[in-house]
Chains A and B, each alone.
Chain A
Amino acid sequence: MGQDNPESGGEFEREPVPDAALLGNGKFWGMYAGEHTAGTEFMIGPLFLAAGASLSDLILGLLLGNVLAVLTWRFLVVPIAMSKRLTLYYQLERIAGSTLVKLYNLVNGLLFCFLAGAMVTVSASAVGVPLNVTFDVPSNMLGLGNLSFTALVAIVGVVIAVVAAGGYERVARVANIAAPWMIAVFAACGIVSLGQIGAGDVTVITEGKFWSDAIAFVQERNGFGEFGFWKIVVFAWLCNGAMHFGMADLSIFRFARSASSGWAPAIGMFLGHYMAWIAAALLLAALIKLQPELAVGADGTVAANPGRLAFESLGWAGILCVVIAGWTTANPTIYRAGLAFQGILPKSSRTVMTLVAGAVATLAGAFPNLSAQLLGFVGTYGTILGPMGAVIFVDFFLMKRCGLRDEYAHRTGVQINIAVMLAWFLPVAVGLYLIFVQGVFAAYAVIPCWVACGLLYLIVSKFTQTAANTEPTT
């Protein structure tokens, strides 16, 4: 996920990035390529097939969804990023107040921990393959996996947390080195899977029987599910909702010298959220065709075990890729969670907070349903954090036009901008109710919550902002 590294000097965390520090297009293309070809892709790809998505819907739906995601980055995030040149956190603090930003940090940090936990599970699933430790997803949402797998998660989690606590630079260097290799391995996994299902004959692909048979196999064991075209589009568009609609990547694009850098997420979307997802889905399809017994857990349901899938396709190179992909996603995520927690307790040690984040992530990773529910989790993530981007959008484009003050907390010194608080809490509460009580697909809630938050922020600000006792500050 795109966030800056405060550990290195001169990160301009509380000031606009100066012209001398701006970066050319190449830096962004490289970063996004590696950022979005990661451990999550090994998990999400097979989940599409398991959820009942047809092959044609997947190919076309992901195409449209990823195009929409790129356009959102380019035309929603980049203009504000290049105008303000501030981090998301500092910009939000100037609007919402430092206390509210601390709450945002807490929520952000916890969600980071859960995401990292899912990646610890992914890595552990790969480590478990040569050790014959199986990855079973219990039917109970809060159920643990088998004892051996839980112990493995604990070991992997501790290692990842300790490395993350050691500092950002080492983590980033390994991730940079591994990125091109991971892209190649994903591609190879997909191509080998096509070979395994007999797609040397093109009619195998065009008829798609192997895919529909795989869906039928899963649904006989897991129950009926559907994942239609528009669901795929919305998921692909909004799985990174926190980054574009939520404006988290302001922290990245504040360094952009040219607006054309805003097209850089395209490489991440089409290598990671297109090629890698489809390749990972093909892994499950191939396994079901060739060795269906390996796709079924001890409880008789089909669970996507990334380590097993990669091993059957590409052997030890595949296993290493899953381990490293999960690790290089979990590490920076735990690091960022540690920073978020430290933001709440400024006097605390970054190392300690990172270890706390690692502990939370490891605990979360011990519950296999977290990674098995990744499709829903990323939508929930976007629903909770995305609306704050609407606050930034409205503050930047509409507040002055509507006769209101922008950056209200900065101008008045308030610690909590009530308008922001209400605008964030209310739509998110409704969104979470729809997701968890009404069973609405989580990604569907992102945009409605974003729009509602933006409107509420504008409307409530009209009531809460007063001209008295406010002196313009620069």
Chain B
Amino acid sequence: MNQITKITSLIALGLIVLPSLLFLAGVIGLGATKLLALIGTLAWFAATPLWMSR
């Protein structure tokens, strides 16, 4: 379970940074970038507290 949540957190960070690079490259639009960043944010805060130690 821990591995899954850690991977989820990693993917979450990727959803924040990678779309911005795709936007810079002109591959996706700003709306999609913002939406993916929001999804990544929600995923980060859902998964990370489950594995990040106190």
Contacts and interface: CB of A to CB of B under 8 A. Distances in A.
Interface of A: 169, 173, 176-177, 180-181, 184-185, 187-189, 191-192, 194-196, 199-200, 314-318, 320-321
Contacts of A176: 52
**Majority SS at the chain B contact face:** helix
B49 A188 contact: no
B16 A188 contact: yes
19 contacts: A177-B45, A177-B49, A181-B44, A185-B16, A185-B41, A187-B20, A191-B21, A191-B23, A191-B24, A192-B23, A192-B24, A192-B33, A195-B23, A195-B30, A196-B30, A314-B34, A315-B37, A316-B41, A317-B38
A188 B35 contact: no
Nearest to A178: B45
B48 interface: yes
Contacts of B23: 191-192, 195
Contact of A192 (B12, B30, B45, B48): B30
Given A177-B52, A184-B13, A199 B24 contact: yes
B24 A184 contact: no
Given A188-B20, A192-B20, A181 B37 contact: no
B24 A181 contact: no
Interface residues of B, number: 25
Interface string B5-28: 000000011001101110111100
A27 to B, nearest CB: 12
Interface centre among B12, B34, B35, B52 (most CB of A within 10 A): B34
A320 B41 contact: yes
Contacts of A314: 20, 33-34, 37
B33 A181 contact: no
Given A177-B48, A181-B16, A184-B16, A317 B21 contact: no
A195 B24 contact: yes
Contact of A187 (B17, B25, B49): B17
Most chain B beta-carbon contacts within 10 A, residue among A176, A177, A184, A196: A184
A34 B47 CA distance: 19
B6 to A, nearest CB: 12
A184 B14 CA distance: 8
A318 B54 contact: no
A315 B16 contact: no
A239 B41 CA distance: 30
Given A314-B37, A315-B38, A316-B38, A195 B20 contact: yes
Nearest to A187: B17
B7 to A, nearest CB: 14
B17 A184 contact: yes
A188 B45 contact: no
A200 B25 contact: yes
A461 B50 CA distance: 55
B37 A188 contact: yes
B24 A200 contact: yes
B17 A315 contact: no
